[in-house]
Amino acid sequence: MTRPARVVIDLAAGRANLQRVKEYAPNQKIMAIIKADAYGHGLERVAKVFDQADAFGVACFEEALRLREAGVTKTIVLLEGFFSEQELNQLAALNIQTVIHQLKQLEWLEQLSAAKAINAWLKIDTGMHRLGFDPEQVESVYSRLKSASGVNDHIHLMTHFASAEEPSILQQLTLFTSTTSKLEGTHCLANSGAIIDRPDAHGDWVRPGLMLYGISPFADRTASELGLTPIMSLKSELISVKHAQKGERVGYGGTWECPEDMQIGVVAMGYGDGYPRHAMSGTPMLINGNTAKLIGRPSMDMLTVDLRECPDAKIGDDVLLWGQELPVEEIARCADTIPYELLCGMRMRARFVEING
């Protein structure tokens, strides 16, 4: 028998989420963001699911190369740009486009021959203070890009929001608009939060990530309220059921004490599989559809569960750690993290199973 821990990927949910993005941003082109191994869902797999997108955004050259090797012909954009001159020299032949966010990249680009010309996405730092040129630098960088023979004529103008909330987003949007007012080029600004809440920030291209995977970018609205369906379900089975007595302690460090005589269960799932070790006692899971609570610290391959509310639970029963009936957003809150981190933590770990292909 195989170990029952597995990640189930619902391909139809992915296609429906992309459709939902198109409803939120009907007049925009869509750059589906599939960095970090497609938020832990598997790069090549997800590229197929999102083949109706207009482009893919990835973090680095290695990810772009994996896509080309898998036969993906769609436009690919490097969100952090190229890291070396050697990478830059390979972009044109592979039809990979790149963000330009700092002067060293610009200098390398100016050395590039016209035969290897590439498409550039000029990144402007409008307030997040991560990547991008300062607004004062933008005019000069833009004209240097325009005159570089290794850069194709059309320049994309881009920024990234630190938050989808006021006043921060409005300040960033205003600064972007004033910085780019005299420059020709398509605008690319919004990630999931702004796609849903800020039609005024849609520009020409949108860059959805989280929402494509069926997760809500907001603390106060669920994915289902937004018309999104999680692609990923984390599943396993009960591998042990036993009786424990009042006062007995459970797990490493004995952080949880049985308040009465009770049944406890063990699930084949742990932090080695990507389940968060910091999930608190009380974090929910579903056993045969009934809510049960995590007790004690998750260990590497196993975790323990309070079976008082699942009196019929037995070895071999299905356990859902997160998925369509139990949002990963809720598990993230119980582990003091964000859903992005939990999804990315799945990459290359558990066994993946695809459904609804």
Which residues are marked as active site? 35, 252
Using CB under 6 A as the binding rule, whether residue 231 contacts ligand PLP is answered as no
Q: Determine the distance from the C-alpha atom of residue 117 to the mean position of all C-alpha atoms in its chain, rounded to a whole number.
A: 30
Helix-, strand-, coil-residue percentages of the chain, each rounded to 5:
30, 25, 40
Site for ligand PLP in 22-61 (CB under 6 A): 33, 35
* Residue in the shown chain whose Cβ atom is closest to ligand PLP: 209
If the CB atoms of residues 39 and 322 are measured against ligand PLP, the closer one turns out to be 39
Smallest gap from Cβ 139 to ligand PLP, in A, equals 22
Smallest gap from Cβ 207 to ligand PLP, in A, equals 4
Distance CA 189, CA 205 (A): 7
**Near ligand PLP by CB under 6 A: residue from 6, 160, 187, 198:** 160
Dihedral pair phi/psi, residue 65, rounded to 5° = -65, -40
Smallest gap from Cβ 209 to ligand PLP, in A, equals 2
Q: Give how far Cα 272 sits from Cα of 136, 216, 284, 327, 328, Å.
A: 47, 26, 19, 21, 18
Instruction: Name the residue type at position 327.
Output: P
If the CB atoms of residues 129 and 182 are measured against ligand PLP, the closer one turns out to be 129
Q: Determine the distance from the C-alpha atom of residue 85 to the mean position of all C-alpha atoms in its chain, rounded to a whole number.
A: 28
Distance CA 287, CA 320 (A): 7
Smallest gap from Cβ 1 to ligand PLP, in A, equals 37
Using CB under 6 A as the binding rule, whether residue 217 contacts ligand PLP is answered as yes
Smallest gap from Cβ 198 to ligand PLP, in A, equals 13
Smallest gap from Cβ 248 to ligand PLP, in A, equals 43
DSSP state of 326: B
**H, E, C per residue of 181-194:** CCCCCCEECCCHHH
Locus of tokens 């990478």: 87
Distance CA 201, CA 55 (A): 19
Using CB under 6 A as the binding rule, whether residue 20 contacts ligand PLP is answered as no
Distance CA 279, CA 334 (A): 6
Site for ligand PLP in 289-328 (CB under 6 A): none
- Binding residues for ligand PLP, total number by CB under 6 A: 11
If the CB atoms of residues 100 and 210 are measured against ligand PLP, the closer one turns out to be 210
If the CB atoms of residues 105 and 304 are measured against ligand PLP, the closer one turns out to be 105
If the CB atoms of residues 156 and 293 are measured against ligand PLP, the closer one turns out to be 156
If the CB atoms of residues 21 and 305 are measured against ligand PLP, the closer one turns out to be 21
Using CB under 6 A as the binding rule, whether residue 191 contacts ligand PLP is answered as yes
Q: Give how far Cα 190 sits from Cα of 20, 66, 83, 109, 200, Å.
A: 15, 26, 24, 26, 10
Using CB under 6 A as the binding rule, whether residue 79 contacts ligand PLP is answered as yes
Using CB under 6 A as the binding rule, whether residue 78 contacts ligand PLP is answered as no
If the CB atoms of residues 203 and 217 are measured against ligand PLP, the closer one turns out to be 217
Maximum distance among all Cα pairs of the chain, rounded to whole angstroms: 77
**Near ligand PLP by CB under 6 A: residue from 17, 119, 192, 229:** 192
The dihedral sign for the CA sequence 218, 220, 226, 231: positive
Q: Are 106 and 143 in contact (CB under 8 A)?
A: no
What x/- string results for residues 197 through 216 when contact with ligand PLP is judged by CB under 6 A? ----------xxxx------
H or E element in which residue 100 lies: strand 96-100
Q: Which of 98, 48, 97, 54 is nearest to 74 (CA)?
A: 54
Q: Which residues in this chain contact ligand PLP in the complex, by CB under 6 A?
A: 33, 35, 79, 160, 191-192, 207-210, 217
